[in-house]
Amino acid sequence: MNEIERYLAAAAGVETVAAGQDLTVKVDLVMAHDVTAPLALAPYREIGVDKVFDPAKVLFVIDHVYPAPSVQARHSHREMRAFAREFGFPILEGEGVCHQVISERYPLARGAIVVGADSHTCTAGAYGALAFGVGSTEAAAAMATGTLDIEVPEVQAVFLEGKLSPGVSAKDVILFLIGQFGGGGLTDQAILFAGGWVRQSTKDERMTISNMTIEMGAMLSYFSELTDADAIGPVARVHHFDVGQIPALMAAPSFPANVKPISELAGKPVSQVVIGSCTNGRISDMRDAAAVFKNASVDADVNCVIIPASRQVVAQMEEEGLTRIFRQAGATVTSPGCGSCYGGHMGLATADDVVVSTTNRNFAGRMGAKTAQIYLASARSAAEAAVAGKIVAPGTVAPLEGVSAHA
C-alpha cells in the first residue's frame, strides 16, 4: 500500500485496502458552512438521532455570506446557530473562511479524516489530513454516524523539485499543474505531493496548492513528509516537475485550466482586483501584496478589494502595518470571509468588468455578471495589476527582491 492507502486502512480498521475498494472510514472532523449547512438540517432530522456523533468533531462556519447581505442570509445564520446550540457543537461566525479557520484552530493529526460540505475541503491535505469534499446530505450523515463511505481512490504522485524563480509563487505552481493535467484530468484521483521543493515549502504554499487540486477533479490531495519513493509506496503513476521552469501564470477566462504565461496577457486593461480567499488570503499573500502597494497607489480606474482569510490574518496584518499600507494605497480592506469569490457580496463584478483575482475559480458568473472576465493570479501579480491598471509581469511595478520565501 502507499502512504494514503495506509492511512485509509487505519481509519477503516482494516489491514489492507486497494484502489476501487468500497470502504467506511471513521471521521475526525465534519464541517459545513452557511451555504451548505442550511441544506443539511432537514436531512439530519430525518435520520432521527438526538445528538451528533461527537460535538468536538462537528463544526459550522458562517463565512460565505458574512456579514449577511440579505434577510435570507441572516435567517440562515440564525437557523445554523439554533441547530448548533441544540446539538451542542461549535459555530464560528465571521472568524474567516472555513478552510483557513480549520487550519488555525484544529490541530489535526497526519492521516486525519476530514469531511467538509465544500468542494475546497481538500485544502487540509496541505498539512497531512485526508479531506473529502461532500454534499450537504453526506455531511449530515457523517454528523450523525461519525463515518464516511468512500471508494478508495487511485493515487498519483507529483514530485516537485527545484527552486522557484523570483516573482513566481505557489499559485503559479498549481496553475501550471492544472494546465498540465486539465480541468477534470484527475477526476476522483488522489494526488500525493512529494519532492525537494515540497519538503522545504511553507504551510501557506502547500495550502494554496492543495486548495485548487479540486480544479483538476481530484478527490483529495496529500502532502507527504517522506523523502523516499519506496517509503511512500506504490502508486498508479508518478510525475516529476521542476518548479524552476514555471513562469508567472494566470488562468484566463473562463476556466481554471485556461492557463497562460503572464507575458502573453500583458497589457490587458483591468477594472477590478480582488486579493484574498481560501486560496490566497493568508498573511504571506498579504505581505506579497503589501510589498507592491508600499510605495504605490491603486490605479484610478481600478477597484481593489482586500479580503483576509481569517481574523487571525487580520490581526497579523494590523500588527505588521499592512492594513495601513493597503488603505493608503487606495484599496478597500473588508472583514474576513469568502466575499466575492463565491459571488455573494463585497466586490461583485458587472458585465464589462475585467477582474484579476487571487481566488480559485473563474467560471462565467462566478463573481457576478456572466460576461465579466476573470483572471486568476497570485497575490503579487494581482497587486501589480491593481497599480498598473493592466496585467503586467511581476517586477514591473515593484522590485522582486525578497519576494516569496522559497522563490
CB-count burial class (<10 Å; 0-12, 13-18, 19+) for 208: buried
Q: What is the pLDDT of residue 342?
A: 86
CA atoms within 13 A on the CB side of 285: 34
Q: What is the pLDDT of residue 367?
A: 92
Closest by Cα among 381, 382, 355 to 368: 355
Closest by Cα among 52, 192, 29 to 102: 29
Q: What is the pLDDT of residue 395?
A: 95
Q: Nearest 5 degrees, angle CA 206-CA 214-CA 263?
A: 70
In three-state secondary structure terms, 51 is coil
Contacts of 367 (CB under 8 A, 6+ apart): 274, 340, 341, 343, 347, 348, 349, 355, 357, 359, 374
User: Where do the domains of the chain lie, and which CATH numbers do they carry?
Assistant: 22-151 (3.30.499.10), 155-245 (3.40.1060.10), 251-388 (3.30.499.10)
Instruction: Copy the grid coordinates of residue 380.
Output: 503579487
Instruction: Copy the grid coordinates of residue 166.
Output: 523570483
CA atoms within 13 A on the CB side of 369: 10
Q: What is the pLDDT of residue 298?
A: 98
Q: Nearest 5 degrees, angle CA 191-CA 197-CA 198?
A: 40
Closest by Cα among 144, 94, 147, 153 to 122: 153
| Cis peptide leading into residue 254 (ω within 30°) | yes
* Cα–Cα distance list, 360 to 116, 285, 340, 369, 377 (Å): 17, 14, 11, 17, 9
Q: Whole-angstrom Cα distance, residue 363 to residue 320?
A: 35
Q: What is the pLDDT along the chain (407 residues), one digit of tens a residue?
A: 999 999 999 999 999 999 999 999 999 999 999 999 999 999 999 999 999 999 999 999 999 999 999 999 999 999 999 999 999 999 999 999 999 999 999 999 999 999 999 999 999 999 999 999 999 999 999 999 999 999 999 999 999 999 999 999 999 999 999 999 999 999 999 999 999 999 999 999 999 999 999 999 999 999 999 878 889 999 999 999 999 999 999 999 999 999 999 999 999 999 999 999 999 999 999 999 999 999 999 999 999 999 999 999 999 999 999 999 999 999 999 999 998 998 888 889 999 999 999 999 999 999 999 999 999 999 999 999 999 999 999 999 999 975 444 33
Instruction: Copy the grid coordinates of residue 36.
Output: 451548505
* Per-position DSSP letters for 169-214, written without gaps between them: -HHHHHHHHHHHH-TTTTTT-EEEEESHHHHH--HHHHHHHHHGGG
Q: What is the pLDDT of residue 405?
A: 40
Cα distance between the two ends of the chain: 34
Q: Whole-angstrom Cα distance, residue 384 to residue 370?
A: 25
